[in-house]
Structure 1
């Protein structure tokens, strides 16, 4: 009897396999660094194992700005890819334009609502229907440290902003680049939002970057954040302007620089270099932001497809993204944490475990979990761009005052709303 059931199961599986149609998924993304490329290759292999074709459409640079330019051109011409790396409120913008396909059937069949955090699930939906699948959760307010460099300079790991500048002075005096940075608008904004979180706390951060409250945008805490941002420039090397973020991470890996302020995708570069968290490098909360979590959720939005085969391939990919196997392998390569609340973290390193612990704590308490402005989670692309312009102009100026900066920031946000 058992043998007959086995044969029946095999026959059913064969029937399902023969009934499915091989389709193609073209995926537009900007996962191009070493750790990121290894991570997305996992999904490609899983899709191909299901019998579908994966067409990789990677566009490097600009934290997705270049990719979005290409996507808009493709969509306007009537030929969007099957899926694109889109996140935050931009998902709603594409939904308003009528380009996105529903994933409600695959979501219901696989119980997405049972294991996704509500604050994540809501962003993936348009008019109550899933149109995108979350890939991971990134913590943005991280600081990455080469412990050998700090020890060589006689410096300690900073936990406050005052301590940060003491450590930076010691590193600089010892002949190291204190802060590894790439002078690009999104990288400047990444540091700035952590400074705002450190000086004003999560409440003021949300008032400024989610509610766009003018009093918060022109507050003393915002002025103080700009003051600290100007100080960052004193500890950069001459090659910083235009440098990509992963090249800055490599400076920390090679021992040329002591610290980098970057989201946990940087950990993917340390992993790709064969380094061990807690030994070869340290991950600590950006000074003054311990116990808070600035989140950035990568997601793949699905665009309407013309053929049933391609729609089936698209739905298959969406199912695979939230499978435990993919969440495990992808996030260990990428440096992020699984988006599934039920995922076993025992095989992850101490940085990921600390990240998940803070994510769960802030999710459950409702305090300290804030969406990243710099990475498109807290506001629209137009307001984000307006903030970028002011922050980068200040970062590269020696004459703009803090008062001028906050007034320009408030005016820019007001004009972009």
Structure 2
């Protein structure tokens, strides 16, 4: 059963489609204009049938708007007087199909059936992708903005630069870009540039012909050609030799790849997503990264916040990881006490989400307790400073002191602004500062 929206100004077409599709157990909503159709879009439909000529606008323009908001939406264009060029334009924009009037019921039903099958395959691909790469979990403001920015920009360009510390989830962000891009149905090829031997970088990325160099007994396709019509993710691109950087620059500019040992070029269309944990401006200043390549790659830049700047997400992440590992070991997900969460939130996690994930996996493997307390986290978390071995009251005080000092620092000692930021009365903040021994010269 599919949820279908029909947007057409002819009442007979709306009613006949609604009747025919509902007899086959589909849910159908109809609209006679673009403005009416827009009101229904937020309801999420599997398939939209959209007429080209409508009383309040052009269906092609509305199709563009729909694709900008949701590149994965299935839209079937219908028209009684469109030519082949209009049909081609609609398909290029992202329409699933184009059907001419008078409408054939058999053609409509076949289209709905095929579109429904494709939608199921797309959903399964998303599910499997989530299993392989995980989801970007978080409801903090920083994560919400990151997700919104990725969804907004992923289908509008093909070059992205991701910055962030090790373990923050740069590959998850890269996969999310791929998912929402116009190349989402293609392959996602991840390359760890730091792990490539310098003498084999070009062969790995661009491929080689048989006999191109000693040991090249067979031809190799190369990562860029493997990622054609999809996305290539070049992680730690800052570790790449300058000579290889020059070749990537040529790929970006020419949209073509030349294999080692060949003088022929092969055209490629793909997303180029790059990432690093280093400061590119400093690398450019030191002559370790090409400035012209940085300009070409840095069309859209995403900065992944470290876990210490999004501690509100720790409870969600902990619950998420416990559920994942419980599913893998076929056990019941463990519960976490409030003091355990407070303890984790007071820890900076220099290894970021990767460190937290490894901690949860370690506990899931070795700990038989059903309820995880602070003491258990202390036992399994390496390098815990002795000063963290506190009672709950002391841990809360330490956490509050750190938060207040950070807020005062951000607001240059202004207690009124700090109180507003922390969501407390100015008088209460004064009392807490006195209690916690915080000196401040406003």
Report the TM range for the smaller structure's normalisation. under 0.3
TM-score by length of 2: 0.22
Larger radius of gyration: 2
Which structure has more relative contact order (CA 8 Å, sep 6+)? It is: 1
TM-score by length of 1: 0.23
